[in-house]
Chains A and B, each alone.
Chain A
Amino acid sequence: MMPVVLKSAIAIFKRDIKKFLSNPFIIMMALLSPIMFLIIFGNAMGGTLTHIPVGVVQEVPPYNDTPLFTSAAYQLNHISQGSENNAEKELDVTIYTDEAQAKQDLANGKISAVIVFPSSVSNDNAVRVYVDSSDSTTPPLIQAAVTQVLLELGANHPVIVDKIYGDITYIEFFGVGIIMMAIFTSTSFGGGIALIKDRENGIHEGYLVTPIKRSSIIMGIIASGTVRAFIAGFTIFWIDLLITGIILQSFQNFLLVLLVIFIACVGVTSLVVSFASRFSVQQEYQSVIAFLNLILFFTSGAFYPVIGMPGWLRWITLINPEYYGVDALRSILLRNQGLNVIGIDLVALLIFSMAMIILGVVTYRRTLE
């Protein structure tokens, strides 16, 4: 009895190993995933925040700088993060002369904080820190830096911190990222896999002999994928609001969210479809998609502010549609910013989508070869 059991077990073992070895691509992707996990996740998450853009400004009048302001601005600009030999600047200080202008830039997301120093004639000599609190990591860092500098200068001014968007919890920060993830997963298992399944099952052979054009195939699939992704993104958006307790500020914001989700869907779907247009085996496609999901999600800034990533990783964020989606959604939902701020994200998403559609059409295999 025993040998028979063993014999069959060995037969199954051999068959599985043969199948495993027969597809080097999948083996490679299986090894690559954890390595990339280490590199991307390790760098994207634990990174020290450097080069945080902050503005410093002195109260007016009078219009001449106090010694405290001059030295504090200099010191803030020269605080280092990390160990001695590869120390990086923590803050990038911009000196403003107009407090209103500085606050405007803060509201538009150009800088992360405004530090207002009291003038010589001020009767209230507190240092006011207005900080972008839409992520929970930067405000304590800026506050600590200001306190440290004042201590070094021997100034005993009190520090008043104003979190301009209130106390935003991590789940609120992270939640918008999940909307992008939902878009990606629904489109990769929707539009992309449908394309490959059709090819795998030979359904393609049926319609490649009709006069249908490559562009029609790609556009049709992107359109249907976008609808599917939109439904997923929209649903997760509501669930996100319910779970995190984010409150929509206005109806205009709601419309903006819809617009961002829609354009992000086009961008992500065209990326996925342009990948899918080359693959003919579901397994290969899935291993690539899992990999892509990982890279895009971790570099989107969903977990941790993009500013904390090393330079090379930030290059990936530049071509990552999820980054623009996350950024735009955060601007609307957490910072109540409008089209003037998110416009750049939408333009980037549209350019990205166009490039991917062209790539998909060009690389689509019109024949069976």
Chain B
Amino acid sequence: MFLIFRNENTDDDGYNKKTKTEGKMAQMMDNSVGDDSAIIRIDHLSKVFAGKTKTVIADNDISFEVMRGEIFGLLGSNGAGKSTLIRILTTLLSPTSGQAFVNNYDITKDQEKIRSIIGVCPQNYTSDVELTAYDNLEFYGKLQNVPDSILPDRIMELLKMAGLEDRAYMPVSTFSGGMKRKLEIVRAFIHHPLILFLDEPTIGLDPDARREVWQQIMTLNKEHTTIILTTHYMDEAEKLCGRIAFVDRGKLLALDSMENLRQLIPAGDLIEIGVAHMDPLAEEAIRKIDLVNAVSVVEHMVTISATNGSRVITSILAVFEQYAIPVISISIRSPSLEDIFIYLTGKGIDSGNGTCNEAARRKSP
């Protein structure tokens, strides 16, 4: 990880924990910006879409803050209200109730000012596919008032950053999904925005392309940019985000750093040991070890839940040796975001919709 987090703050309204970032990155931000205050403040924000037949509450009384310089993740299943929230913060939609401030500008009053300090990469491809990569960047550069004198250099710099310099003068319609996405991300960054919003930046990309996009996001974050991304991929949030907000059906379920979220699950780490046979006495002995919370044996698999798995493992193995039980396999895993999400919502992140969760599939044992 490139950010080290220390949880310092306490609850303000039950679940909404504010976390103060403190690490190499955070310190660098502190020096450059002068404070580590919240760059985005959302206060009891709600959005209701009133239709003819039914009313949909997309965001329901959401409050949280995003700190300067962090990579903030909004995690939730499709239709959880992530994109609506992003659209409100980027002035594309107005909230039904509540307030939000982006760099101290009110989203309902100072839209012009907000638009000039944000960069947005929407969920859908919004590049003009008939134009070349260069033309697309030039168009956005002009809309963002990048001075003409530096624009050509800036465009080439961005194309290089996205690894697309050899394709500068090719129409975007010839690009692969990953190339288009990378182009859009650098496009959002053309005017060095204070805040970069990325709505599902890696949706529909293959693993290689995703890794490249992640790399790009981390690079951009090093340029003093606060990044807010939405995703429904657990591994993405885990890899990139300093703090993660879980959103489900328009509600904010939890907000914290990965470390702290893990502790929400009482079970701790999961240790799975494969054996040929199991001795009930050994099971009892393991149960007595400090830090072990629960032990269960299903056929040839012993599953132990322990507060600190890596430290306990030696004591557990000693028990197996003592009872002369040959160990076939060992695995220790920390609870993933998926486990936390299931714990918080009582369902899998993709349950109820048809999309398949690549992250979840790769994580499953």
Contacts and interface: CB of A to CB of B under 8 A. Distances in A.
A202 B122 contact: yes
A209 B112 CA distance: 9
A369 B87 CA distance: 11
Contacts of A204: 126
A184 to B, nearest CB: 24
A204 B128 CA distance: 10
Interface string B315-358: 00000000000000000000000000000000000000000000
A203 B128 contact: yes
B116 A211 contact: yes
A205 B92 CA distance: 8
Contacts of A13: none
Contacts of B94: 367, 369
Interface in B58-73: none
Contact of A368 (B92, B112, B144): B92
A210 B125 CA distance: 16
B46 interface: no
B219 interface: no
Contacts of A201: 124, 126
A210 B93 contact: no
Interface string A207-241: 11111100000000000000000000000000000
Contacts of A212: 143
A236 to B, nearest CB: 26
A210 B139 CA distance: 11
A83 B137 CA distance: 69
Contact of A207 (B124, B125, B140, B145): B140
Contacts of B124: 201-202, 205
A206 B127 contact: yes
A209 B127 contact: no
Dominant secondary structure at the B interface: loop
Contact of B144 (A202, A210, A367): A210
B271 to A, nearest CB: 47
A57 B252 CA distance: 89
Given A205-B92, A368-B93, A369-B93, A211 B143 contact: yes
Interface string A181-209: 00000000000000000000111111111
A24 to B, nearest CB: 11
Contact of A210 (B87, B115, B184): B115
B286 interface: no
A206 B118 CA distance: 12
B91 interface: yes
A199 to B, nearest CB: 11
A210 B140 contact: yes
Contact of A209 (B120, B125, B139, B184): B120
Contacts of B125: 202
Contacts of B90: 209
Nearest to A217: B143
Interface in A150-209: 201-209
B144 A208 contact: no
Contact of B118 (A205, A207, A209, A369): A209
Contacts of A205: 92, 122, 124, 126
A61 B145 CA distance: 76
Contacts of A211: 112, 115-116, 143-145
Contact of B126 (A202, A368, A369): A202
A13 B126 CA distance: 34
Nearest to A206: B126
A199 B187 CA distance: 19
Interface centre among A205, A206, A207, A208 (most CB of B within 10 A): A206
Nearest to A204: B126
B143 A210 contact: yes
Contacts of B143: 207, 210-212
A361 to B, nearest CB: 15
Interface in B96-132: 112, 115-116, 118, 120, 122, 124-128
Interface string B77-98: 0000000000100111110000
B116 A368 contact: no
B144 A209 contact: no
B265 to A, nearest CB: 37
Given A368-B87, A368-B92, A206 B115 contact: no
A206 to B, nearest CB: 3
A59 B187 CA distance: 79
A368 B87 CA distance: 9
Contacts of A369: 93-94
Nearest to A205: B122
A367 B89 CA distance: 12
Nearest to B187: A206
A207 B131 CA distance: 15
Contact of A367 (B91, B116, B118, B140): B91
A30 to B, nearest CB: 21
B74 to A, nearest CB: 17
Nearest to B126: A206
Given A203-B126, A368-B87, A209 B93 contact: no
A209 B92 contact: yes
Contacts of A368: 87, 92-93
Nearest to B49: A369
Contacts of A208: 91-92
A266 to B, nearest CB: 23
12 contacts: A202-B122, A205-B92, A207-B126, A207-B139, A207-B143, A208-B91, A209-B90, A209-B122, A210-B144, A212-B143, A367-B91, A368-B93
Nearest 6 Cβ contacts at the A-B interface: A206-B126, A202-B124, A210-B143, A209-B120, A211-B115, A211-B116
Given A202-B125, A210-B115, A369-B94, 14 more contacts: A202-B124, A202-B126, A203-B128, A205-B122, A206-B140, A206-B187, A207-B143, A209-B90, A209-B92, A209-B122, A211-B144, A368-B87, A368-B92, A368-B93
